Amino acid sequence: MKEIFVLAEHRMGELRDVTLEMLSRGRQLAEEAGAQLVAGLLGHEVGPFSETLKKWAHQVLLVDDAKLANFNADAYQRVLAPLLKERAPDLTFIGHTSFGMDLAPTLAVELDLPLATDCLDVQLRDGKLLAFRQVYGGKLNAEMSFARTPCMAMIRQGAIAAGAGDLDGRVTEVDSPLTEEIVYRKFLEYVEAVVGDVDITQADVLISVGRGIREEKNIPLVEDLAQALGGVLSCSRPVTDSGWLPPDRQVGQSGRTVKPKLYVAVGISGAFQHLAGMGGSETIVAVNKDPNAPIFSVADYGIVGDLFQVIPALTEQIRETKGG
C-alpha cells in the first residue's frame, strides 16, 4: 500500500470524533504497510482543523471553498471524485455517519470502488485488507474481504479508540474544482432538538424501555418502576419511532448520551447505536429474554427473563423495601 486517505468530518464548527478514530486506525495500517496517511479536509475557513489534523496525518489536503461551508453530499462528491481518481489511495476511510452514508456509496459507485460500510475495524492480514462488521443488530460478527484494491471502508463512530496525535504533517491546499453551486441539492438549515420538561441527561437513575415492551399500553409497567425507584423514564429508538415516548427521552446515537448512576435497560437488545448513548453509565442492569442480547455484554447485572413478570415483581419489592 502506498496511501491511505481519511476524509475528515466536521459539523457546525466542530471536528467529529470519528475523524481522529479513523486516522488512528489509518496510522496503524500505514505503519504496517509503509504507506502515507493523508487526511482530506473539505470546508470553508476550516484552517484550525488542519492544524489538528496535521498531528494525525503525514499530509493534510485542504480544499477551501465557500460552497463547501456546509456538508453537501453532491458537492463533496464533485471534489472527492477527481481527487481520489488522481491520487488512487489504496484505502479510503469515510465515517459511517449520516454524512458518510449520504456520500460514500454514491462516490464508490462513481469511482468503481469496493465499499464496506459500517465497519468496526479494518485490518491487514497477510497483506490483504479485512473489514469487520456486525450484523443482525449486533448479534453476530462478520468478517468481510474486498474483491480488489483500491477500496473504501466506512468506519462506525466510537468503534476505534483514538490514539495520540504526535505527527507533524504538512498542509497542502488544493484548488476546489467547484465552479458553481449544486442547484439540484441545496442545504437549508440545521435543526436542533428541543429539550422538553424532562432532561434525561441530568437524571441519576434512568429506567429505559425498548422494543420488548411490545405495545404502548404496557409502558406504565416500566413507568411504575421508574417512579418506585425515584428515577426517570427513557427509551431506545423503536419506542420513539412508534411514537410511544417523545424524542427527548431517547437514549443513543441519534438521541441523547447519558451517564446516570444506575441505568436499567428493560426489553432493550442493545444495538450499537443504543450502547453508544449509555455505555458510560456507572451501573447497568439489563432485563431481556434473549440470553445472547448484546446489552448483556455491557451490563453489570443481567436478568434473562420475561420483563412482564420481572418488572412488576421488582416494582413491588422496591415499594415494600421503601415502605418498610
Partner 1 sequence: MDIVVCVKQVPVTAEAEVMVDESGRDIRKDRLVFDVNEADNYAVEEALLLTEKYGGTITLVNLGPESADKTLRSLLAKGTHEAIRLTDDHFADSDAFATARILAAALKSLSYDLVLTGSYSSDLGYSQVGTSLAELLGIPHAAMVTGLEVLDGKIKVERELEGGVHERLEIELPALLTVQTGINEPRYASILGLRKAMKKPIKVLTLTDLGLAEGEVGREGSRIFLNRLSVPPKGEGAQILEGGPEEVSQKLVEIFREKGVV
**Residues 238 to 277: which contact partner 1 by CB under 8 A?**
238, 240-243, 247-248, 250, 253-257, 261-262, 269
Size of residue set near partner 1 by CB under 8 A:
106
Work out which of 116, 178, 235, 275 binds partner 1, going by CB under 8 A: 116
Task: Using alpha carbons, list the distances in angstroms from residue 65 to 42, 162, 176.
Answer: 8, 28, 6
| 126 touches partner 1 (CB under 8 A) | no
* CA separation for the pair 23, 7 (Å, rounded): 9
Work out which of 31, 47, 142, 198 binds partner 1, going by CB under 8 A: 142
Spell out, one character per residue from 71 to 90, where the chain touches partner 1: x when CB under 8 A holds, - when not.
Answer: xxxx----------------
Task: Using alpha carbons, list the distances in angstroms from residue 75 to 42, 66, 220, 288.
Answer: 10, 11, 48, 45
User: Can you tell me whether residue 171 is helix, strand or coil?
Assistant: strand
Residue 219 beta carbon to partner 1: minimum distance, rounded to whole angstroms: 16
* CA separation for the pair 52, 14 (Å, rounded): 11
| 96 touches partner 1 (CB under 8 A) | yes
Work out which of 19, 24, 50, 117 binds partner 1, going by CB under 8 A: 117
- Find the binding residues for partner 1 in span 24-63 (CB under 8 A): none
- Tell me the chain's radius of gyration from C-alpha atoms: 23
**Cβ–Cβ under 8 Å, residues 131 and 155:** no
CA angle, 294 then 297 then 303, to 5°: 85
Q: Which stretch binds partner 1 (CB under 8 A): 28-36, 37-45, 58-66, 279-287?
A: 279-287
Work out which of 175, 180, 184, 217 binds partner 1, going by CB under 8 A: 184
| 289 touches partner 1 (CB under 8 A) | yes
